[in-house]
A = this chain, B = another copy of it.
Amino acid sequence: MTADATRARQRLFVSDPITPGCEIELSSEQSHYLEHVMRLKPGTPVKIFNGLDGEWLATINELRKKKGSVAVESQLRAQGTEVGPTLVFAPIKKQRLDFLIEKAVEMGVGRLQPVITQHGITDKVRLDRLQAQVIEAAEQCERLTVPEIFKPVRLLDWVANCPENHHLLFCDETGSGSPIGEVLSQLLAKGAGSAIDNVNVINHALVIGPEGGFSADELERIRKQSFATPVSLGPRILRAETAAIAALTVFQDRLGDWSNQPVTRD
């Protein structure tokens, strides 16, 4: 008897390879969540993905004392490509950072690069926490990949080590840049980026400063780079997390994958 995919309400990221008929162990957190929070029983269908093998229908095998496993049935979606720009951001306060991470994943960010800036309020980033949030958001928004998170580095070190084929769009609150939408549509017109040219999307990074803005020194050194373009995000002063979401949105709308159709809900 085959499970009913439309009844699979939970979507889980797993780290093992997924092949038809195999059994996959769940983490203790996943097992606890399914058993005690969602109160699911063995036999319940779920969806699983691992970032490589697409999305699969599976059924819960066992669920007991923070241990659990699922039995893989059939593939629901092939992997395909999912590319997005890099988001380079200064860590902000906890709740706002949580929000930034969740929304960036929903907006299809490719990689997350925390950077330490001169006016930033904190250097501390709990990567394990970020990793858990990124996975949860990817499960929620039907992504087939989980964005990569890099270790924090100093902004100016990151810029200095940036490959020359990268293009930085840095959100400059001082207003030196043109509106981000205009900059992206000019890029598209020049063929420097295209919705179907994945390599180009990957090579873009959106750089968001801390609440206090970039320092004069940081601005001067970023502006000197031939691969950096200042952009503005409208007339209002945006909080850091708003700026990140807004920049990613305009990127996906103008240059990214927003011309693709939504994943159909059950």
**B-contacting residues of A (Cβ < 8 Å)?**
99, 102-103, 106-108, 140-143, 173-175, 179-182, 213, 232-239, 242, 245-246, 249-250, 252-254, 256-265
Contact = CB atoms under 8 A, between A and B. Distances in A.
A197 to B, nearest CB: 17
Contacts of A245: 103, 242, 245-246, 249
Contacts of A239: 102, 106, 140-141
20 contacts: A106-B236, A106-B242, A107-B234, A141-B238, A142-B237, A174-B264, A175-B264, A232-B262, A234-B256, A234-B258, A235-B257, A235-B258, A235-B260, A235-B261, A237-B262, A237-B263, A245-B245, A246-B249, A250-B250, A250-B253
A28 to B, nearest CB: 27
A259 B142 CA distance: 33
A251 to B, nearest CB: 10
A236 B253 contact: no
Nearest to A245: B245
Contacts of A102: 239
A66 to B, nearest CB: 27
